Structure 1
């Protein structure tokens, strides 16, 4: 993951932009799960939504990371 991204000439932290993208994707996926009826099998919906957000954010972070860039 890079340190900063440039959007319209303004530097933004990469994690902020990835968080916004993950929030939008989580909202869309939540509506899809609700439409299909998948929340019937979940005991506590807010925790499932938070876990979904963290999984999507981690996946986006992994996909935007630079290969070979060590810690």
Structure 2
């Protein structure tokens, strides 16, 4: 996934777009897991949230790479 996204003449790295999308998806998943009571079983919620973000970012990065080729 190389390249940039042109938004009205401003070039934005695709990685930044993927990171913002991953943050939004992670926030939605975190809210859903909080309402379901999943965090009662998690030892360290901030560490779990970081791992969840990294996993979502990896999935989005792979999806974007497959769609670009």
Q: TM-score, normalised by structure 1?
A: 0.86
In structure 1, the gaps of 5 or more residues are: none
- Computed over aligned residues only, the root mean square deviation of the Cα atoms, in angstroms, reads 1.1
| Partner Cα distance (2:44, 2:58) in 1 | 22
Structure 1's consecutive aligned runs of 4 or more residues displaced over 4 angstroms after TM superposition are none
* Gap runs ≥5 in structure 2: none
Which has a greater percent of helix?
A: 2
| Corresponding residue for residue 15 of structure 1 | 15
Equivalences, count: 67
In 1: Cα distance, 2:26 partner to 2:4 partner: 23
Residues in 1 aligned to 2:8 and 2:53: alpha-carbon distance in whole angstroms = 26
TM-score for the superposition, normalised by structure 2 = 0.89
Give the structure 1 partner of residue 2 of structure 2. Answer: 2
1:45 matched to which residue of 2? 45
